[in-house]
Amino acid sequence: MLKKSTARALFCAYAAGALLPLIFSGCQAKKSGQKSYEFTQVRQGNLERTVSSSGTINPVSTVKVLPRMSGKVEKINVDFNDQVRKGDILAELNTDMLRLQREQQLAQVIKSRANYELQQLNYRNQQALAEKNLISEYELKTSKTSLDIQAADLAAAEANLRVIETEINQYAFITSPIDGIVLDRNINVGDTVVDSSSNNSSSIFTLAENLKEMQIEAGVGELDVASINKEQAVRFTLESLPGRSFTGVVDTLRLVPAVLNNVVSYTVIINVENQDGSLLPGMTCAVDFIVTRKENVLMAPNAALRYQPTSLSAAEIEDMVFAAGLKGLDDEQRKAALESRAQAKAQASGQNNTSGSGIQGIMMGNAPGVGRGGPMGGPGRQPGVQGSGAAQGRAGTAGTPVVIKNLWYINSEGKLDVMRVQTGITNGTNTEIITGEDISGIQFILREKI
């Protein structure tokens, strides 16, 4: 038993000793192995820069119909979604009490007219007596005043009669003020409505003038509102109509700001066509304002422009980026760039500066004699335009912002290399690439595989 246990222990020790070099060598191989990447290519296509928002679809013009007299609803002639013409009777109010009032007022008119005619005869007699100096001037004046009062009473009675007749013949019939469609009906037969002059009055019908032309009210944040212009093209989609895309045109930018949770936004009115009637009032939509559109441009995924190798140190990346920026420069520009970088390193000694100050000196035009040509030396760089390296470019003398980015790839020797390119507009996924070199066949690194 002792011999067997001793042999087993020796075997286990031997096996463990034999495995240790294998495990170590496997770790070394994994550690020293090359990284694997996902690649992409620069492709040609159409690119748009847009401002996204959301909005609500509404009719261009709506009219709220209020009653012009108080009364009980006796008849309703239209319902929701009915087409109406201007002057069509929408509803009728009960006029029984008004007809009784008309009879009373008609009697008052007859009475007032009789009193007026009697006083008119009396005044004529008074005039005849006054001509013979049988009555005083005061009595004549009194008779004339009584005649004027009777004439006023008759005119008032006749006016009140016309008011009642107008209510019976016109106001009791609620008519449409426009040609359109009934969007809303807020009354039923038997309801009592209140005259529109009262504070308690409310609309009984809501009419839309034309649903063939609609408008979108979209909110745009203060950071993006400068990109919105009149007659600007707009594209929008609706969740209720998947797979369809609609277009519109900016009509108005309302200058009244709306503040919600300390966020300032402005309302933009967009005109849209609705010939097939698929757009309904109240629908919500996702809106894209097309700020810039370019066709047949080179573009690369934004992930490739953001990539930074993890296998290189910050100093190594800076050196490679600087060397890539020297390509295409003439001897004088290259010498000025090297001097600028040396000065920048001397000034930044003792500080943690990994932002690539040398190449920034080239892009910003700080180096003497470096004011023309981009890092690629191609036609994509405008003369005199300044940039800021990989950061957001400033407006140069030509007023065009310039942004320089890095694209990493594996060169013909199988090593990491970098290319400096000028970028243009972006749609959030792809970015325009401006370069004078033919880079269509190069496999650029998109990301590292895990």
pLDDT digits (tens, 9 = 90+) for 296-325: 999 999 999 999 999 899 989 998 998 888
Q: In this structure, how many other beta carbons lie within 10 angstroms of the beta carbon of residue 352?
A: 7
Write phi, then psi, for 100 (nearest 5 degrees): -65, -40
Give the mean model confidence (pLDDT) for residues 44-55: 93
Do the beta carbons of residue 264 and residue 221 sit within 8 Å? yes
Q: Model confidence at 351, in pLDDT bands (50, 70, 90)?
A: low
How do residues 173-209 score in pLDDT, each as one tens digit?
Answer: 999 999 999 999 999 999 999 998 888 888 999 999 8
Q: Model confidence at 390, in pLDDT bands (50, 70, 90)?
A: very low
User: What order of strands is seen across the sheet that includes strand 192-193?
Assistant: 173-175, 89-93, 71-76, 192-193
How do residues 5-46 score in pLDDT, each as one tens digit?
Answer: 444 444 444 444 433 333 333 333 344 346 789 999 999 999
Distance of alpha carbon 187 from alpha carbon 206, whole angstroms:
11
For residue 83, pLDDT over 80 is answered with yes
For residue 87, pLDDT over 90 is answered with yes
* Weakest-pLDDT range from 25-29, 76-80, 329-333: 25-29
Give the mean model confidence (pLDDT) for residues 413-421: 91
Q: Model confidence at 340, in pLDDT bands (50, 70, 90)?
A: confident
Do the beta carbons of residue 180 and residue 114 sit within 8 Å? no
Q: Which residue has the higher pLDDT, 9 or 271?
A: 271
pTM of this structure: 0.65
Token duo for residue 266: 């402005």
